[in-house]
Chain A
């Protein structure tokens, strides 16, 4: 193995481990994943349409829906922060029962952060410049 690839080895092992966990599950699990993928593709199409025609397709000119995107962003930031804070009772105060939830909390935090970034990107009128 070339030496410059060595630092990537732990990361590759990490990715491999993740993939092994992700790619194993029951039939119900796969159905759920397929459903989520359909949602993601629909969202992608909707965003393509918004990118072409401008934010007018969201109808956010109305007072009620004005901050729909960015409101979701702040909500998800709160979710992520709360999920991360689960670490404190688990690893600072060594409270056993919450350790199992802490891992789920981290996963939730990561996915919430990803959604946050996407909400900011779709909210601004010129994502290419930002």
Chain B
């Protein structure tokens, strides 16, 4: 075959035949695959329950029309009612115009009491077992803010001693250049115009790439089915915020989107007993955070990784 002359007609003919046969084979293979896929999906539709299929074929939050969204919301409310016997209100408030939310923490007065962790936990319908907490608290003698992974975690507030430690609550930094959003292969997470990074829990496939990408450990994965006692369920919910999550998806702090879009403070800010947490619109010149961001010396966590966090730490007193 190698030494055959170039214009050997029978050889060429045989070659072409072989190519055609191969193409036929490929074509038949593709057809068989398509048929198989169609058949299995039809069978799947018949087997699975109506809610399951409706959930499966639900489109992306930002692509949904108003009527689709209303359908989804009523379905979600029904599901929550069936599971928790509590009538919830799932809201879809859009972002307020011209608002950019920022949070700041005064480290010189943070007590490390852990009430922000607990308040967040209760407000946002977090899984009680296995426990998921959006805020982590670090403590150390010296401020080692570049060592997030190696820092000592602080989880037992009642045993706290006034030993001159710094307490550093770390939550989602709501970055302006979020690594998590860029790493998501299905665009289930995105930045809203008011600066909050949100997740469409029904679009997330649970690949956990965002968790690997986030330098602040702000994203949590539902490794098991979340459990919330019926009495603890917070019935005021937002689609992108604290509605009960399913297992196998990633969730994160949303600055309590269900509260801030109605003009309230996040739960961690309201619950802080010493007022160490400040929250507001950085575009509003009369707000506290505007003053802090523009006038005071602030620290940001891991500035060098270039995520441009919108979460500031500062010292009001030495």
Contacts and interface: CB of A to CB of B under 8 A. Distances in A.
Contact of B31 (A8, A53, A124, A128): A8
A7 B31 contact: yes
B28 A8 contact: yes
A129 B205 contact: yes
Interface string B32-44: 1000000000000
A94 interface: yes
Given A10-B21, A54-B222, A55-B223, A126 B204 contact: yes
B224 A130 contact: no
A10 B24 contact: yes
B207 A7 contact: no
A11 interface: yes
B291 interface: no
A14 B32 CA distance: 13
Interface string A112-130: 0000000000011111111
B24 A126 contact: no
A56 interface: yes
- Contact residues of A: prevailing secondary structure: loop
Given A54-B223, A54-B224, A126 B249 contact: yes
Contacts of B216: none
Contacts of B24: 7, 10
Contact of A126 (B25, B206, B224): B206
A56 B205 CA distance: 16
B205 A7 contact: no
Nearest to B226: A54
Interface in A36-85: 53-56, 60-61, 67
Contact of A54 (B28, B31, B32, B225): B225
B186 A130 contact: yes
Interface of B: 2, 21, 24-25, 27-29, 31-32, 56, 130, 186, 203-208, 212, 221-225, 247-250
Given A10-B21, A11-B29, A11-B32, A56 B130 contact: yes
B38 to A, nearest CB: 16
Given A11-B29, A55-B206, A125-B204, 8 more contacts: A8-B31, A53-B224, A60-B223, A61-B223, A125-B206, A125-B249, A126-B204, A126-B248
B235 to A, nearest CB: 25
A67 B225 CA distance: 21
A10 B26 CA distance: 9
Interface of A: 7-11, 14, 53-56, 60-61, 67, 94, 123-130
Contact of B28 (A7, A60, A129): A7
Nearest to B246: A126
Contacts of A11: 25, 28-29, 32
B248 A125 contact: yes
Interface centre among B204, B248, B249 (most CB of A within 10 A): B248
Contacts of A128: 56
Contact of B248 (A9, A10, A55, A67): A55
Contacts of B222: 54, 125
Nearest to A13: B25
Nearest to A94: B2
Nearest to A12: B28
A67 B208 CA distance: 10
